[in-house]
Each structure stands twice: as C-alpha cells, then as structure tokens.
Amino acid sequence: MSIRIHFTTPTVKELQARLRCAFAAGDRRLATRISCLLHLGQGQPVATVAATLGVAESTLYTWLHAFLERGLASLVYRRSPGRPAKLTGTQKDRLRALLAAGPEAAGYATGAWAAPLIQHLIEREFGVVFNVHYVTELLHNLGYSYQKARFVSDHLDEAGRTRWLAEWAAIAVAALARGARLLFGDEASFAQWGSLGYTWAPRGQQPLVKTTGRRKGYKVWGVVDWFSGWVFTKGHTGRFTAASYCAFLAEVLAQSDQPVILVQDGARYHTAQETQAWLAAHADRITAVQLPTYSPDYNPIEHVWRYVKEGTHCAYFATFEALVARVEERLGHLRTSADRVQELLGTPLDDCIGQPVPIAALLQAA
C-alpha cells in the first residue's frame, strides 16, 4: 500500500519543536517517531522512510494512524514502572571497554561520547533501553564524569617525558641545596576578541557572547616558584621575542639575590642564540632546564594561566584597556596570595607534574 500525506505549516513547526525537545532530552524513541512523521509529511514513501530510519513499515503505519487519530497527544511515551533493568557486572566491564576504545572504534562518526550516543550503544550491545538521564547516572556510578577534552601532541617525546619524571626531583634537590628559586616559566596571550568556555544557560538557548572582533592581544611573560608559590609576570603588547624574553628574565633576577633554576619549554625565543648568550652571561645566577618537547602538562604555570583565563572566558571587552585591566586584576590577586597559587599548583612537589616527592624528603636529601 502506498500513501501520500501532507501536514500544515503549523503542524510541521510544532513537530519540529517537539523533535528538538526530544533530542535535548535524549529521548531517542520519540525523536525517531517524530522524524518518521516529518519525512512522511514531505511526501516520502513509507518504504523509503522505514528503510532510512530503521523502522518496520508496520510500526510506521501504527504511528501515523495514532497521529491522525489523536494528533500531538499521541507523541507521548509512558515511563516504564519500577527501576531500569540493571547491567550485569560483565556487561558493565564490556561497556567500560567500549567507552575506552572511543566512539569511532564502536562505529560512530564522532570522537566524543555524549549521553544519547551511549544510550544507543547500550541498546545496540545489550538490548536494554535506558532513559538518557539514567545513562548519566549510570556513568557517574561507573566512575565517569563529563569533561572537556584536551589536546595531546602526536609528536610527544615519550622517552624524554619518562626521563623528566625520573630526574625532576633531582632538579628540586639541587635547587634546595643551592638555596635557589625553582621557577617554571612560560608565556600566555589574552585576546580582546574574547574566548569561550562552559557556562550554565537555559536548555535550548545557546549563550551568546558579544565580541569586537579586534584581533589585538595582551601578551604576558610569567614565572612561578614551585616551592613558595611566588608569581612574577610582565605584560606587553608586542610580539614574543628573544630580546623581550631576556629583558623579562633580567627583571626576574632583580627581584632577589637568590640563584634561579628556570624550567622552560622549547619555544624558539627560549632557545634562540640571543637567549643562550644572555643565559651564558648570567650563568652565575641562572640555570635553564628544558622541559620535554610538547609537554605543557608538565609545566605547573599552566594552572596560573588557566585561573586567569577563567576571568576572561565568555566576557566582552569593548576596549583593549578593559582586557588588560581584567588580566592584571587576576594576576595581581595571585601575586599577593602565594597560598592561592599553591592551591592551584597542588601541594608543593606532589604529583602535579609527575610522581609525588615529599618536601621533607627533599630537605633531608639536600
């Protein structure tokens, strides 16, 4: 049997609105049902719609008959009584393995796990349909949390990273023995056009953040003392260069008479000939140690930058001066609060950048 059906514009708009709500709620069954109706309303044959959405033709006719008879009131699924069926221990282990392998390994064209996707995975693998909200609860019970991913370079020097974890404690011992500051250095840029981050908002209403579109940025050099939480920064509006880096290091040395062990990454202005010549000329005061390549996760000053950027995410800066003021306000708080800095870094010499090494043991070794 072949049928053709046409819905009025108000009906289509209402179905589309309910479809968006179904997707937002993770109700895959209802979303499929509404999608079938919309496809039929566009004049597509029943057989085509059924094949496209993976629904039996008899089911599609049942849905259509119910909609023609009861309208929008038919688009409701009663919740099943009682608790959802539990996965067995073996099934939970299998689910963990599937999640660890990633969505692409499971046949999905995405790299991120979302609750509705896991809902579909559970139905496909175990034949159990869970409400998407229960899927979230299940994931929490399995030890998962909803997190923002971070990039890891595919150029990692794994051997160098392993050596660093084995040797960095000796660097700390050497700093203590010399009475030196153990400084981790880096630089950061803060853009006037703004940056986006997570924020709570009404469901279905994506937050909008105004932007000037101006591509001017505030550049900041910085160091943080791993032992004390002391922070020193220098902002400027020019480019990061070897000359400005050397000028910044000169200001760092001027802050005290202590020797300095400086841990830095391999940025070109850190390793340029001009920088190397400056370090050699001041070798009696400062010793540079290189981090493994592509290893920002081993540099604790990243926690400082993250704290500052929390104050600029989703914020509108009508003027460059407003941006600078916000950045300096956040940095100023850290410069006057070593305790807060140490909270950001973690307990001194814990596992923030590798294996834990108690400070008492380092003092004794020194």
Quickly state the pLDDT bin for 319 (edges 50, 70, 90).
very high
Give the number of domains in the chain: 3
In a domain, 203, yes or no: yes
Are 188 and 327 in a shared domain? yes
Q: Residue 360 sits in a domain of what CATH number?
A: 3.30.420.10
Q: Give yes or no for residue 361 having a pLDDT over 60.
A: no
In a domain, 150, yes or no: no
Segment 6-18, tens digit of pLDDT: 888 888 888 888 8
Are 69 and 193 in a shared domain? no
Are 169 and 59 in a shared domain? no
Quickly state the pLDDT bin for 353 (edges 50, 70, 90).
very low
In a domain, 146, yes or no: no
Are 177 and 297 in a shared domain? yes
In a domain, 119, yes or no: yes
Quickly state the pLDDT bin for 346 (edges 50, 70, 90).
low
**CA 245: distance to chain centroid?**
29
Are 193 and 269 in a shared domain? yes
The per-residue pLDDT for 286 is 96
The per-residue pLDDT for 208 is 87
Are 303 and 190 in a shared domain? yes
Average pLDDT over residues 272-293: 95
Are 257 and 328 in a shared domain? yes
- Amino acid 174 reads A
Are 225 and 360 in a shared domain? yes
Contact present, 32 and 55 (Cβ < 8 Å): yes
In a domain, 1, yes or no: no
Average pLDDT over residues 287-299: 90
Are 207 and 280 in a shared domain? yes
Are 27 and 103 in a shared domain? no
In a domain, 151, yes or no: no
- Amino acid 9 reads T
Q: Give yes or no for residue 169 having a pLDDT over 90.
A: no
Q: Give yes or no for residue 104 having a pLDDT over 60.
A: yes
Structural domain boundaries, residue 167: 158-365
In a domain, 147, yes or no: no
Q: Mean pLDDT over all residues of the chain?
A: 85
Q: Give yes or no for residue 203 having a pLDDT over 60.
A: yes
Q: Give yes or no for residue 301 having a pLDDT over 70.
A: yes
> Coil, helix or strand for 260?
strand
Are 51 and 135 in a shared domain? no
Are 229 and 107 in a shared domain? no
Sign of CA dihedral 362, 289, 181, 152: negative
In a domain, 333, yes or no: yes
- Cβ-proximal residues to 184 (8 Å cutoff; 6+ apart), any chain: 223, 224, 226, 263, 264, 299, 300, 301
Domain final position from 49, 74, 99: 74
Q: Give yes or no for residue 352 having a pLDDT over 50.
A: no
The per-residue pLDDT for 363 is 47
Most confident of 32-41, 77-86, 189-198, 266-275: 266-275
The per-residue pLDDT for 153 is 66
The answer to whether the predicted template modeling score (pTM) of the entire model surpasses 0.75 is no
By mean pLDDT, which of 194-198, 228-232, 261-265 is the weakest?
194-198
Contact present, 148 and 227 (Cβ < 8 Å): no
Domain final position from 97, 113, 141: 141
The per-residue pLDDT for 82 is 54
Quickly state the pLDDT bin for 355 (edges 50, 70, 90).
very low
